[in-house]
Structure 1
Amino acid sequence: MRIFPVSQLGAKGKWRTEAMRTLSEPFFVWFKRGQGRITIGGSSSNYSMNNAFFIPAGTMHGFDVNLNVFGTALFMGRNCKAVLPEQPLHLRVRDGIHQTEMTFLLENIQREIFNTNVGSDRAASAYVDLLSVFMQRQATHSSVAQSSPKSSREIVEAFTKLIENEFRNGFNVSDFAQKLGMTPTHLTRSCKIACGKSALQILQDRKMFEACKLLTETQVPIGDISQSLGFVSPAYFSRAFAQITGKNPTDFRKLN
């Protein structure tokens, strides 16, 4: 279990928050101040002060963070035992008492995570349990309905799940559209409606996040990264990477 200020997540590059990715653990983020856009499961919405989001493990997402955004990000761990929502949640916590309760829970989770006393792990887990109850109660009256048409959201949700399973296989948008039983034009139109991005942008985002992660967190050779992400050659990977990030993979690794 890990907890960070939201501003710290994007301090080493926008790709760490904005690029579409999935996590192998549940994720909770509380935006105390500021505003921006967040995309979860292929559907985008605005966030503002006192907004909270729960994102289940395996759900593709990304959000923008600027200098005016303050809040807390909680990574709950792969072995989290709390009874958590099965679907993403967007909560607008308007009541001052509930805002104070949210702050109290997150501050206590943080204290126990950094505590070296006996039982601190169990205490942190207990507060996460309370946070899950808080989310369940808030969801009954402060969850935010999705604004995009249901059919578009469902298509893009299926697309992002398919990407997560297949993005390393070199498939293009046409391949994914065929697997979903539709034309590439229909898929791209649905993506634009649901999240303002094309199908190609969503696919490229996921690949580039994985590339950035491998370049910064491992010493895997660039040629091997290219092959693992389904690019036809290291040269093509380098061109695509530079086009999106503004740097070639070698320079990006040196700077990060």
Structure 2
Amino acid sequence: MKLFSGTPLAQFSKQPEKTARAPRHVVALPEAPETSPVRITPIPRLAAGGRWRVEAMRSLSEPLLLWFTRGQGRITVGGITRGFGAHNAIFIPPGCMHGFELGAQSYGTAVFFGRGGAFDLPKEPQHLRIRDVGPQAELSGLIDNVQKELESGRPGAEKAAQHHMGLLCVWLERNMASAGDQGKRPDAARRLARRFADLLERDFRTGKGVADYARDLGVTPTHLTRVCNQTCGRSASDLLHDRLTFEARMLLSETKLPVAQISEALGYTSAAYFTRAFQHRTGKTPTAFRRQG
């Protein structure tokens, strides 16, 4: 099973530096509001509008818990790919680069904690394989309680949902403590992959290429690519271009910014080069993609 769809960047991956020059000035992009509400969404619905919305590398500005109850697939979090199956709970902190592939029978629930909340949550990604029926039922019940309150419209519903979310945070803390593999220290390759993913998420709009990231990390581009292939089955260049393409798709589909402004905001040297790279990745020009949406 291929983790991510899309044409390999054979044409572009050998020359990332051509996309890797910072724009002459900062382009203002739409900003997310400082606060947002708690939301519960079926995981398959996240892919409405295109599987790229879940498969491509991206990050969120709020914490996210994915609770898979059926099927299997693969998920990449912080540059590390793992398989997931039924009764896997995956917590993703805000700003953590991730993407996942759903199998045909996959189902579950996404819990968005909102922005600006005061929840006590882990600072690092967590992947919990919940084998016992008790904790499985407890988590599903907590999520159902939050959903019921959010949909009830009753007085105090929002406050009640917040309390149930607090109990969900306690569930997460307890099951992290009881998980057998939480104390294991990641090996050097995984640590480097996570550092690269964090740096990429921070700087992908600046126009850096793989060589720039490798230099910042104190390794060679060849070693960085070897490590990425080892930890997630993808090259460093592919991760970079995947993250850029996701952001471009979001800006094209959810804003009215001109293509040239999007190109500049993402660090491309010209709108023409951005158009060629985007079309190579998606099979459509930016204008055609926007028109389709």
Q: Which residue in 1 is equivalent to 2:287?
A: 250
Between Structure 1 and Structure 2, how many residues are aligned?
A: 256
Determine what percentage of the aligned residue pairs are the same residue.
46
For 2:172, what is the secondary structure of its paired residue?
helix
Q: Which of 174, 196, 202 is matched with 1:165 structurally? A: 202
**CA, structure 1 residues 198+182, in 2 after alignment: closer, same or farther (shift >3 Å)?**
same
1:85-234 residue pairs with structure 2 within 5 A? 85-142=122-179, 144=181, 150-234=187-271
Task: Give the whole-Å Cα distance in 2 for the aligned partners of 1:215 and 1:145.
Answer: 40
**CA, structure 1 residues 11+190, in 2 after alignment: closer, same or farther (shift >3 Å)?**
same
For 1:114, what is the secondary structure of its paired residue?
helix
Question: RMSD of the TM alignment (CA)?
Answer: 1.7
Task: Give the whole-Å Cα distance in 2 for the aligned partners of 1:199 and 1:148.
Answer: 23
C-alpha contact 1:29 1:52 (8 A) present in aligned 2? yes
Q: Which of 96, 99, 107 is matched with 1:62 structurally? A: 99
Task: Give the whole-Å Cα distance in 1 for the aligned partners of 2:54 and 2:180.
Answer: 23
Higher relative contact order (CA 8 A, sep 6+): 2
**CA, structure 1 residues 147+239, in 2 after alignment: closer, same or farther (shift >3 Å)?**
farther
For 2:227, what is the secondary structure of its paired residue?
helix
- Please list the CA deviations of residues 200-223 of structure 1 after superposition, one character each: whole Å capped at 9, or x if unmatched: 011111111111111111111111
Q: Which residue in 2 is equivalent to 1:52?
A: 89
Q: Which residue in 2 is equivalent to 1:235?
A: 272
Q: Judging by fraction of residues, say which structure has more helix.
A: 1
- Is 2:106 the partner of 1:43? no
- Please list the CA deviations of residues 168-217 of structure 1 after superposition, one character each: whole Å capped at 9, or x if unmatched: 11111001111111110011111111111100011111111111111111
User: TM-score, normalised to structure 1's length?
Assistant: 0.95
C-alpha contact 1:22 1:60 (8 A) present in aligned 2? yes
Task: Give the whole-Å Cα distance in 1 for the aligned partners of 2:184 and 2:284.
Answer: 36
For 2:246, what is the secondary structure of its paired residue?
helix
Structure 1 residue runs of 5 or longer lacking an equivalent are: none
- Please list the CA deviations of residues 213-247 of structure 1 after superposition, one character each: whole Å capped at 9, or x if unmatched: 11111111111001100111111111111111121
Higher mean displacement: 172-181 or 146-155: 146-155
C-alpha contact 1:148 1:193 (8 A) present in aligned 2? no
Q: Which residue in 2 is equivalent to 1:73?
A: 110
* Aligned-residue offset at 1:113: 2.1
* Aligned-residue offset at 1:115: 2.9
Q: Which of 48, 53, 68 is matched with 1:16 structurally? A: 53
* Aligned-residue offset at 1:149: 6.1
- Please list the CA deviations of residues 35-83 of structure 1 after superposition, one character each: whole Å capped at 9, or x if unmatched: 0000111111000011110011111111012331110001111112111
User: TM-score, normalised to structure 2's length?
Assistant: 0.84
C-alpha contact 1:92 1:143 (8 A) present in aligned 2? no
**CA, structure 1 residues 149+28, in 2 after alignment: closer, same or farther (shift >3 Å)?**
closer
* Aligned-residue offset at 1:166: 1.2
Task: Give the whole-Å Cα distance in 2 for the aligned partners of 1:168 and 1:63.
Answer: 22
For 1:64, what is the secondary structure of its paired residue?
strand
Task: Give the whole-Å Cα distance in 1 for the aligned partners of 2:181 and 2:273.
Answer: 41
C-alpha contact 1:39 1:195 (8 A) present in aligned 2? yes
